Each structure stands twice: as C-alpha cells, then as structure tokens.
Amino acid sequence: MVPKKSSNNATLSQPESYEAASAELEKIVMAMEAGQMSLETSLLAYQRGAELLQYCQDKLQSAQQQVRVLEAGMLKNFTRSDSDES
C-alpha cells in the first residue's frame, strides 16, 4: 500500500492494531525497496512508515510495561510444601 497524499497533508488514520501497523509497514518497505516510486511518493511513504514505526514501538512499550506490572504482582519465590511431595 502506498500512502496517498490528501488535500490537507493530514496524516493517515491510526492502524487498527499492532499487527495491522506491522503489515502496512512491511508493505511500505517492500514497495520502497522495489525502487519504482517517485520522489514525492517515496517521501510520503517514508513519513507513513515513520508514523507506523512509532505506533508499533509505543504498543510494544505499553505491552512490556503491562508485563512488568503483572510480573511484579505474581513473581514470588517458589517453596515446596511437605504436602506437595508424593
């Protein structure tokens, strides 16, 4: 997918999910690597790619923070009680 220039130069909408952003970013990279884009289209694709990359990084950082919070509340030293032994 190659981003299309809007009349007011507004950025494209936010992706539905991390997976959607990652897939769109991959398509942009493949299109740019093909080398068939005009300069203007390449610049727009680069801008969209940078936005998608930031979105993905933010989502990953948020997920990592959620995991840290979960681990902080759940990670405890495991001690085996005598009743657990068979």
Q: Could you give the number of structural domains in the chain?
A: 1
Residue 7 pLDDT greater than 60, yes or no: no
Positive or negative, the CA dihedral 55, 13, 24, 16 is positive
Least confident of 10-14, 53-57, 81-85: 81-85
Q: Is the entire prediction scored with pTM above 0.85? A: no
CATH number of the domain within which 61 lies: 1.10.287.1040
Asked if the structure places residue 40 within a domain, the reply is yes
pLDDT (0 to 100) of residue 51:
97
Q: Containing domain of residue 36, as a range? A: 18-71
Provide the token pair at 62: 């948020």
Q: What value does the mean pLDDT of the chain take?
A: 83
Asked if the structure places residue 80 within a domain, the reply is no
Residue 20 pLDDT greater than 50, yes or no: yes
Asked if the structure places residue 76 within a domain, the reply is no
Give tens-digit pLDDT for 28-68: 999 999 999 999 999 999 999 999 999 999 999 999 999 88
Give the residue, 7 or 51, on which the prediction is more confident: 51
